[in-house]
Chains A and B, each alone.
Chain A
Amino acid sequence: MLLAALLLLPFATATLLLVARPEAQARMLAMASTLVTAVVVLLLWAGYPGTAVTVVDRDWAPAIGLRLVLGYDGIALLMLVLTGLIFPFIIGAGFKQQLDRPATVNALLLYAQSFLFGVFAAQNAFLFYIFYELALVPVFFLLLFWGGEHRRTITVRFFLYTLLGGLSLLFGLAWCVLQTPAPYSADFTALHALRLGTDVQLWLFWALFLAFAIKLPIFPFHSWQPETYTMAPLQGTMVLGGVMLKMGLYGILRFVMPIVPEGVLFWRDLVIWLSIGGALYAGAIAFRQREFKRLVAWSSLSHVGLLCAGLFAWNSYGVSGALYQALAHAVLLVGLLYIVGAVTARTGTGDLGAMGGLKLRTPRLAALFMLVLVNAVALPLTQSFVGEWLMFNGLWQHNGWMAFAAACTIVLGAIYMLWAYQRVMLGPDSGRPAVADADRDDHLYLVPLIAISLVLGVYPGPVLDLLEAPVQQMLNTLTALN
């Protein structure tokens, strides 16, 4: 019941916004909708019995293996919570960074939210795929309508790149479905029960993994990401980086690891090195960026590389660390992007070289920026520290050199982030006309985000408890394999 509300409420609100077009009240309506879904998500969490829950289970189109199966386990619930909690902030960013035609903007955002809930609640691979692709459509229009320079080209390139992964997933999916006993089923339970031959798993791994590697993205499938993140409107980047990226992570856990475990065992060192190598590379590039938003885009790429590496360490530290870090990354990215928006609005430029000395005029904003930043550099007692510490441990268990390289990306991250802070806030006053300091709205936006990161940094227990059982269950397949 609650789960159905999660899917339907944003969808209904979005349709209302699109049909009635109440431009003046659009933001408030969307905000109300996301706040309600946030509460619903928390209720869902409170009522979670500790084992996988199936809410709906009925036939839809049996001929193609499509069934309407909705439910969640600990991992899915974490993703639902993430989506539910982050979206009020994404909508909230629209109050400061106003785009024209707010009804349409918010409708598209809410459609995206509804489909994302669908992705995380689907227990049928086909249903997952449908939501996975549908979530792309509102984002496509968000980028096409409100994107920055070269939006027409970049949007189409982004769309095609992502669909390349999508179609490869569809192919892998179709192949797997045909391996299930007749009548074919695409339910996760049926797919996870498959025992495919080793040689098959070796190639099938790439068919399934490619989709999520592009979605995350990890090196060398990342080329769409920086330009898309930079070009997208602020809220679009928040959706892409804050939530949609986590579909990749979730997909790896749902498709790749249970269906082709031997493929994972075979390829995982390659994937980890690609991820960490990509993370180092992205970190180095972020270091060289002059544009603030582009820097955040590359830093996100660096963080995601580490995340994927942690996941493929494939032990309980690595996997739960990656999942924990997914939540941290969403909170962090939304906060950082908001700061980017706030700073850009005040200085009128996104160029780091042209900024500087902002702290003298906006001490409060500087303080908020610093508090968001400590999460970005994974200072102890922040959420990122917990996640990165766990992933680091996980990688250490797998291979010491990998852990070392991962630690390097963390150091690199600290350097470019702090340097960015320095270039924006410190230094001599660049002599701009008076700019306003962070006002009540800015505080209302950033303080909850900072609070989440600090509270979960000090007390990660509830989230980790959520992950323990499903992660353990997943790792058991690995033990059985060895």
Chain B
Amino acid sequence: MSALILTSVLGVLLLYLGVFGNKRLLAPVAVLGLLGAIGVSATGWWMDVPLFAHMVRFDGAATAFNMGMTGLTILLFLFGVDYYARMERDVAEHYALMVFSLTGAFLLTSYTNLLVLFLGIEVLSIPLYILAGGRKNSYRSGEASFKYFLLGSFATALFLMGIALVYGVTASFDLGRIQEVAEAQGAAPSPLFLLGLFFIAIGLSFKVAAVPFHFWSPDVYEGAPTLVTAFMATVVKMAAFAGFFRLVHLTGLPPALANTLLAMTVLTLFVGNIVALRQTNFKRLMAYSSVAHTGFLLLVVLGNTAASTSTLFYYTFTYGLATVGLFVVMTLVKRAANGSEEVRSFRGLYQARPWLAITALLLLLSLAGIPLTAGFVAKYQVFLLALQAGFLKTTILAVAMALVGIAYYIVVVREAFTADEQPLEVQVTPLNGLVVLLCGIAVVALGVWPLQLP
């Protein structure tokens, strides 16, 4: 809870720093503030009690997610020092909006009341609509922002409708009460209740970019500033999944809805991976691969076994680490390759910066799920969990799709390690190098010593 307050204040503080034109102080203040938030979260680990009249509850899982998301945001801000130094205009809003968005993410991980869930989603999303259009003079950035806003609002409307329907049946926003009603209804839940939960699930599916609610993600990923794309792919995804899982975990899914979501998972796994194979633009590739990872994560959410929370956290966090690192590498390559975001422009990276290429290799291998990286342990845990939950056929599909996943990541590896006639002039600032290296080390360390939530 203290973290929630701290980040809200931090956002306001950052805005004021912008007013006074103190651009150099922004990143240090933001990073220090977030480090403080991590500390405050850590000390609150034991304080697992309902707060704000049973609106939120910072249990162990919520705290872990909060710390993970804050950690990823810190990495992004460290990257932002160099990234925003190249933007001449005020950037305080960018920092502040991201911190506000993070505050919304905190609500998503800890809600016990549907209203707080709604509040969390909106606080998370509204800054993102603005951030996606962060490059004011870029046509595509504007397009991304508008598209995201329009589709996002539509999803939100459905989502609200769902909450209303659920309230109509249960007369409560409280998850505990909703679960009681669901149990009382047993095998034949009322259609209104089902429809309500279905709409809520659609709203959340939109946020996690599950097929068929994924159409915004490639365009938004491509058009938004890279830093914001990285933020959406990592922190936002983590928060949305934490929220999704909390809903499933605390209310339980009626079988009809679970089957619908399973069908959606199958679609997501299939479409995300297959379409990603055809991508030549790196950001779009990451967008579709992000959809693909959503498929694996949905399996975890639906599995809903004792190990689900831990697996979900581990998967999203390590996926976030690898993604942040890769987006930093991509930005560096893009600058060297005259603004090209094609996968082809990675060619010659190993020649130019062997260490950067090797670290990128580790990150890509982690996303692909090759052993001794965190991605492998994560995928394996998903398979185990899905088998335990009894999704035998879906697991077989997931395994096959993991192979397709390896195919498109390995193409990037191949490009990075192929020599090019023209040397790639990659400039690495120490801070950017540090971020990439941290991600690389973390991904391997977490793969060798898999993290397990208590």
Binding site for B on A (CB under 8 A): 61, 63-64, 66, 129-130, 133-134, 137, 141, 144-145, 152, 155-156, 159-160, 163-164, 167-168, 170-171, 174-175, 177-178
Contacts and interface: CB of A to CB of B under 8 A. Distances in A.
A63 B395 CA distance: 19
Contact of B399 (A130, A133, A156, A171): A171
B402 interface: yes
A322 B376 CA distance: 33
A184 to B, nearest CB: 8
Interface stretch (B15-23, B49-57, B252-260, B379-387): B379-387
A151 B406 CA distance: 18
Which of B310, B372, B388: most chain A CB closer than 10 A?
B372
A174 B387 contact: yes
Contact of A144 (B381, B403, B414): B414
A144 B417 contact: yes
Contacts of B388: 178
A163 B403 contact: yes
B32 interface: no
B276 to A, nearest CB: 14
Given A167-B403, A170-B399, A133 B410 contact: no
Contacts of A63: 307, 310, 381, 450, 452
A178 B376 CA distance: 18
A168 B399 contact: yes
Which 3 A-B pairs rank lowest in CB-CB distance, beginning with the nearest?
A: A130-B371, A61-B450, A171-B399
Interface residues of B, number: 30
Contact of B371 (A129, A155, A156, A164): A129
Contact of A171 (B310, B396, B407): B396
A64 B417 contact: no
A134 B372 contact: yes
B406 to A, nearest CB: 6
Contacts of B402: 167
Contacts of B396: 171
A218 B370 CA distance: 25
Given A137-B370, A171-B395, A178-B384, A163 B406 contact: yes
A227 to B, nearest CB: 17
B377 interface: yes
A133 B380 CA distance: 14
A177 B384 CA distance: 9
A285 to B, nearest CB: 28
A213 to B, nearest CB: 16
Contacts of B399: 167-168, 170-171
B403 A160 contact: yes
Q: Is chain B's interface secondary structure helix, strand, loop, or mixed overall?
A: helix
A127 B165 CA distance: 50
23 contacts: A61-B450, A63-B450, A63-B452, A64-B380, A64-B384, A133-B370, A133-B376, A137-B370, A141-B417, A144-B417, A144-B418, A152-B414, A156-B410, A160-B406, A160-B407, A160-B410, A167-B399, A167-B402, A171-B399, A174-B387, A177-B384, A178-B384, A178-B388
B411 interface: yes
Contacts, number: 69
A170 B380 contact: yes
Given A134-B371, A144-B418, A178-B387, A159 B381 contact: no
B449 interface: yes
A152 B387 contact: no
Nearest to A178: B387
A159 B377 CA distance: 20
Contacts of B370: 133-134, 137
B417 A145 contact: yes
Given A130-B372, A133-B371, A167-B399, A64 B450 contact: yes
Nearest to A161: B403
A61 B371 contact: no
B97 to A, nearest CB: 38
Contacts of B381: 63-64
A174 B384 contact: yes
Contacts of A155: 414
A129 B406 CA distance: 17
Nearest to B404: A160
Contacts of A152: 414, 418
Contact of B411 (A156, A167, A178): A156
B153 to A, nearest CB: 40
Contacts of B414: 144, 152, 155-156
A152 B412 CA distance: 12
Contact of A159 (B383, B410, B417): B410
A178 B407 CA distance: 28
A175 B380 contact: no
Interface string B302-324: 00000100100000000000000
A174 B402 CA distance: 15
A130 B372 CA distance: 7
B323 to A, nearest CB: 21
Contacts of B406: 159-160, 163
Contacts of A159: 406, 410
Contacts of B371: 129-130, 133-134
A114 B402 CA distance: 26
Nearest to B450: A61
A145 B452 CA distance: 38
A134 B369 CA distance: 11
Which of A134, A163, A164: most chain B CB closer than 10 A?
A163
Which of A129, A134, A144, A171: most chain B CB closer than 10 A?
A171
Nearest to B382: A174
Contact of A164 (B380, B395, B403): B403
A61 B377 contact: yes
Contacts of A160: 403, 406-407, 410
Contacts of A168: 399
A150 to B, nearest CB: 13
Interface string B386-410: 0110000001100110110011001
Which of B381, B407, B414: most chain A CB closer than 10 A?
B414
Interface string B427-452: 00000000000000000000001101
Contacts of B403: 160, 163-164, 167
